[in-house]
Amino acid sequence: RKEVEQDPGPFNVPEGATVAFNCTYSNSASQSFFWYRQDCRKEPKLLMSVYSSGNEDGRFTAQLNRASQYISLLIRDSKLSDSATYLCVVNTNTNAGKSTFGDGTTLTVKP
């Protein structure tokens, strides 16, 4: 079993739709959580950190459930430019600089 597992996808949605991605992690010592976005053949870029209280950045909302070891990302009012692969990332602070990535979920937003 992988340490970080994501919805396999792909997700194909129309513009304006709301889409949710899920991620589970197995290491209960995990302390820091992130969502990264990766465009085709490009490097991953930080989308948002995920906090225990949940956090929102415009159309994007991230939630963390430590008890269930579960992270989610909600995208509202999808835009064509949201088409990308979304990577769930988990860090244990004791493993300095090591991030464990999920394999990503691919989103395609269609007109």
Partner 1 sequence: DAGVTQSPTHLIKTRGQHVTLRCSPISGHKSVSWYQQVLGQGPQFIFQYYEKEERGRGNFPDRFSARQFPNYSSELNVNALLLGDSALYLCASSPRSGGAYTQYFGPGTRLTVL
Under rule CB under 8 A, residue 1 binds partner 1? no
Q: How far apart are CA 71 and CA 27, in angstroms?
A: 13
The 55-94 site mask, x for binding partner 1 (CB under 8 A), equals --------------------------------x---xxxx
Q: How far apart are CA 85 and CA 99, in angstroms?
A: 17
Residues 41-60 that bind partner 1 (CB under 8 A): 41-46, 49
Nearer to partner 1, 61 or 106 (CB): 106
Q: How far apart are CA 24 and CA 5, in angstroms?
A: 5
Answer whether 82's CB lies under 8 Å from 103's CB. Answer: no
Q: Which residues bind partner 1 (CB under 8 A)?
A: 4, 31-32, 34, 41-46, 49, 87, 91-104
